[in-house]
Structure 1
C-alpha cells in the first residue's frame, strides 16, 4: 500500500498492513478495522488500569496502617518503616514455614528409610532360612525350591470337571 521507504511516524502504515494481513488470512474485515482503530486506546486504558490498581493498593495499605505509620514518624518515613516491618515479618513467617516443611520432610524420609531397612532385614532373614533349607535337603527338593511359591496355590476347579454328565475319553479307557 505504501512504498517501503515511506516513513510511518504514527504507525498507520503498520496498522493498515496488519488489517490487510488479517483479512488475507480469512478473518473478518470488520473486526480487523475495529481492532486497528481500538489498539492504541486499549493500550492506554490497560496502562491506566494498572496504574490505578497500584494506587488503590498503596492507598488501602495506608488506610489500614495509618496508626502504625503515625507512631513511626508519620508521612513517607512512617510508611516505609511500617512497610519494611511488614516485609520483615512476612519473611520470618515464610522462613518458619519452610523450616517446618523441611523438618516434616526429613521425618517422613527417616520413617521411610527405617521401614525400608526393616523390609530388607526381613528379606535377608527369609533368604537365609531358605538357603539353610536348600543346603540340608536333597537335589530333588533343590530343583523344586524355585517353585516354592507355587505350592501354596490351590487349583480352582475347571468348567469341564464341574459338569457331572461329562465322561472323558481317558476315564473310559482306564475302566
Structure 2
C-alpha cells in the first residue's frame, strides 16, 4: 500500500513539474507562481520516492527472511571444518542416520551431517526416512544404549552443540552398544 501511495505522490509531483497541472492549480490558488510550483513539485517527487524506497526496503528484508527460511539448516564452511576436526578426534562409532519422512529439509540436513561423518572416517548407515512414533521435535536427537557422562552419544552431543548444532541425547536401551542413532528432526 505504501508503494502505491508513494507512486501517486511522485506522479502528482511529476505532473506539476512538467506543467500539466500548473494552470489548474494557479486558478484555484491565487498568488502561487511557477517558483512555488517547482518547489512543491520537487518536494512531492522526493516524498514519493522516499515512501516507495522505504516500502521496497521492508519488502526486500521480508523476502530475504523467506529465502533464508527456504534454504533450511546448513553448515557454514568454518563450522563444518571444526565439526570435522572434532569428529576425527573421537573414537569411530557406527551411526544410523535418519530424517523425518516427508520433511525434505530434515533429510537434506541429515545428508549434510552424513557427509561430514563419512569424511571423518565414521561408518554411516542411512539416511533413512522414518516415521518416529511420538515425534522427535525440533533439532537433532542422538539415541544410544547408555546415558553415562562419558558415553559416545554424550561426547557426540557435546561436539555437535559446541559447533552450534542443537542436539540432545535420548536413551534407547534396546540399541547395541556398538552403534548410535542420529535422528534429524524438524527445523526449530
TM-score range, shorter chain: 0.3 to 0.5
Q: Which has the higher helix share?
A: 1
> Structure 1-normalised TM-score?
0.32
Which of 1 and 2 has greater Rg? Answer: 1
Higher RCO (Cα < 8 Å, 6 or more apart) = 2
